[in-house]
Structure 1
Amino acid sequence: MIDKQHIINRFISYVTVDTQSNPDSGTTPSTEKQWHLANKLAEELKAIGMQDVSIDENAYIMATLPSNVMHDVPTIGFISHFDTSPDFTATNVKPQIIEKYNGQDIVLNAAENIILSPDYFEDLHLYKGQTLITTDGTTLLGADDKAGICEIMTAMEYLIHHPKIKHGTIKVGFTPDEEIGRGAHKFDVKKFGADWAYTMDGSQVGELEYENFNAASAKVRVKGKSVHPGYAKGKMVNSLYIATEFINSLPRMETPEHTDEYQGFFHLHGVKGDVEETELQYIIRDHNLGHFKARKDMMLKLTDELNSQYEEDIISIEIKDQYFNMREKVEPVMHIVDIAEEAMKQLDIKPLIKPIRGGTDGSQLSYMGLPCPNIFAGGHNFHGRYEYVPVESMIKATQVICKIAELTALEN
């Protein structure tokens, strides 16, 4: 039995440490403050009895739980990231504990009238009667992915204290900078030494994912010519108008707010400009590799067409691939998904197998030789003030880790 208060205390000890990452930094980790939790986690792994605990110069943490069976068993791993998103502040997180949630509105912050309501966030209906941990409405919570770290740490501790549960060698990895797309960049797969792994980085109870977006970023620069507006006729070229033309030429309904499931999108997430120069920042996403290529080609073709229209190279575009769909690497070893699915079923958890509309460290690790599906960590509404996690979901995720370890160790 996983102790409820113990997991609450552990989780709160993590989320109250600010570990926000920074995409504009060139260091690893991207922020100095990530070291505060990284060092704490390394010491905690030692304290609970893990072996070969290491933390490298980039704050990647690894540890081993040795096998307690005599027969050969595959070495498996569990991975989570300790940074939080740069999308919303993580400074001075004040978690609130809602016991026996009554299914009604939760006042996160009365002074600012910030309400977490099931009328808007319908998933709250799933957790009536449970214990929720929320924000105070002024920061994110950090369940993405400190819930995953808490679950892995608690599962390892539980297995150490309950040696009757048989398991093979288990590797643990905690990474920085996942939220800015760099979590796997300096992960030493060979040192980790697992045959396969699971990221604990999903949301709702039961989520089990081995498909994710193919992803790229696109930076579009539009050059203009600034002239005094009183004497601008035939001379001024307003880059803002041309940038708007570029934006409006892409399919309006193929954006995040109009797509779901396997549908891809173009997402304009940043605009900076004036008459002289405008920069557009996009991300491109699609599960289908052919459609993904077509989206990139569409942006390149649009750039050429507008340059031709204005009879000069007024627009430039830089597209960079970020990660690819892990399905290609996981399907040849589908037994690793089957084990996780069976673990959930044995714990009376309904598996929810669906594509990730995003990416995880696992998507990059799969292409680095470590097949790595994703399992729920329990949180909801990541990256903002309405983030919350049910404690019961963290307990179930912890149980799933233990059950996967147990099933992997079966001789047949």
Structure 2
Amino acid sequence: MTNKQRILDRFLSYVKIDTQSDPGSDSTPSTKKQWALANLLVDELREMGMQDVNIDEHAYVMATLPANVAHKVPVIGFVSHFDTTPDFSGKNVNPQIIENYDGGDIILNKEKNITLSPEYFEDLAQYKGQTIITTDGTTLLGADDKAGIAEIMTAMQYLLDNPQIEHGEIKICFTPDEEIGRGAHKFDVQKFGAEWAYTMDGSQIGELEYENFNAASAVVKVTGKSVHPGYAKDNMINSLYIAQDFISSLPRLETPEHTEGRQGFFHLSNMKGDVEESELHYIIRDHDKKHFEARKKMILDLGEEICTQYERDCVHIEIKDQYSNMKEKVEPVKHIVDLAEKAMKAVGVKPIIKPIRGGTDGAQLSYMGLPCPNIFAGGHNFHGKYEYVPVESMQKAAEVIVKLAQLTSDQYK
């Protein structure tokens, strides 16, 4: 059993460091402040006795736990990211610790009347009696993915402290910029040297995922013609109205708030404009590759149709693929998922195998030659003030890592 206080202390020290990434930056990491946690992790890894601890010029932290068995065992890895989302403040995080949670409402911020309630967030009720870490209602918490880092660090320390637990060589890596889709962009898979790995970046306890969205972004630029409104008849072309036509022509129920499971969507994430020019930013998501390609085609066809309606070249669309469904790369080595499932059951966790309605570093890494399913880190309500994580879920995640190391060794005896 991993030490509860040790994993709690680690997690609290990590979340108090602001590591918010910035999609507007071209550097890696995208923000200088991510270096603070990256360098701290390097120091901690060396102090605990990990080998080959290094950090590269882009803040990727890698380390090795040598094998303690004579027989040949595949090298496995564990990966988490240390940046937090740009969507919500990660500065001056002030975690609240709720011991022996009573199952009722948790007051996050009395002054601002912010409450974390199981009536709205139903998953909260299942953690009655446990230790819950929440925000103070003014920032996110950072369990995505500092919980994963705390779990990997705690598991490595446990294996170092308990050499009687047999395992092969284990690689770990902590990455920047996952939240802006660039966590794997400068990941050196060859240097990492693992045959397969697991991202510790899922949500509630038990999650095990090896399917994710195919993803693309679309920027729709609409041009109009601005003239004095007093003399606009037959001359003005208002780009805002054309943009409105574009938005309303896409399937209204195929949006995030109306879809679940493997259902894909179009998501209008941002818009700006005036009479002369408008710009729409969409993300396109679908688990099914054929449906995904059809969605991209629908966007392009709609642009052409609207240009025809207005009898002018008024809509320009740029679509960029972002990542692909890892299922294609993981299914041929499905035994790595089976091992994770077996490890969960061995430590008393019921596996919840489901598709990710999003993406992880593991999706990109799988296409870079490192098959990489995703395991729960334990947090809920990521990217906002209602984020929380039960300490017991983090403990179980660390135990899954330890058990995975042991089972992999046992399987290859």
Equivalent residues in 2 for 1:37-116, closer than 5 Å? 37-116=37-116
Amino acid at match of 1:312: R
Which residue is equivalent to 1:349?
A: 349
Deviations 1:252-290 (A, max 9, x none): 000000000000000000001111111100000000000
Which residue is equivalent to 2:397?
A: 397
Three-state SS of the structure 1 residue aligned to 2:270 is: strand
Q: 1 CA distance for matches of 2:274 and 2:102?
A: 51
Matched, 1:134 2:134: yes
Which residue is equivalent to 2:123?
A: 123
Unaligned runs of 5+ in 2: none
Which residue is equivalent to 1:317?
A: 317
Deviations 1:53-76 (A, max 9, x none): 010000001000000000000000
Equivalent residues in 2 for 1:195-214, closer than 5 Å? 195-214=195-214
What is the Cα deviation at residue 226 of structure 1? 1.2
Three-state SS of the structure 2 residue aligned to 1:79 is: strand
What is the Cα deviation at residue 97 of structure 1? 0.2
Which residue is equivalent to 2:155?
A: 155
Deviations 1:21-61 (A, max 9, x none): 00000000000100111111111111111000010000001
Amino acid at match of 2:331: E
Three-state SS of the structure 2 residue aligned to 1:37 is: helix
- Percent identity reads 72
What is the Cα deviation at residue 306 of structure 1? 0.6
Equivalent residues in 2 for 1:182-331, closer than 5 Å? 182-331=182-331
Amino acid at match of 2:73: V
Q: 2 CA distance for matches of 1:43 and 1:236?
A: 63
TM-score by length of 1: 0.99
What is the Cα deviation at residue 144 of structure 1? 0.1
Amino acid at match of 1:182: R
Q: 1 CA distance for matches of 2:235 and 2:36?
A: 55
Q: 1 CA distance for matches of 2:42 and 2:249?
A: 50
Aligned-residue RMSD, C-alpha = 0.6
- How many residue pairs get aligned? The number is 412
Q: 2 CA distance for matches of 1:242 and 1:312?
A: 11
Deviations 1:212-231 (A, max 9, x none): 00000000000111111111
Q: 1 CA distance for matches of 2:105 and 2:230?
A: 55
Q: 2 CA distance for matches of 1:35 and 1:236?
A: 51
What is the Cα deviation at residue 322 of structure 1? 0.2
Q: 2 CA distance for matches of 1:183 and 1:268?
A: 24
Three-state SS of the structure 2 residue aligned to 1:278 is: strand
What is the Cα deviation at residue 304 of structure 1? 0.4
Q: 2 CA distance for matches of 1:35 and 1:232?
A: 55
Q: 2 CA distance for matches of 1:312 and 1:60?
A: 49
Which stretch shows the higher mean deviation, 268-277 or 291-300? 268-277
Q: 2 CA distance for matches of 1:231 and 1:128?
A: 67
What is the Cα deviation at residue 348 of structure 1? 1.5
Question: Runs (4+) of structure 1 moved beyond 4 Å?
Answer: none
Q: 1 CA distance for matches of 2:71 and 2:305?
A: 64
Amino acid at match of 2:106: I
Q: 2 CA distance for matches of 1:125 and 1:229?
A: 57
Q: 2 CA distance for matches of 1:276 and 1:312?
A: 14
Three-state SS of the structure 2 residue aligned to 1:160 is: helix
Equivalent residues in 2 for 1:15-30, closer than 5 Å? 15-30=15-30
Q: 2 CA distance for matches of 1:21 and 1:106?
A: 29
What is the Cα deviation at residue 308 of structure 1? 1.1
Unaligned runs of 5+ in 1: none
Which residue is equivalent to 2:32?
A: 32
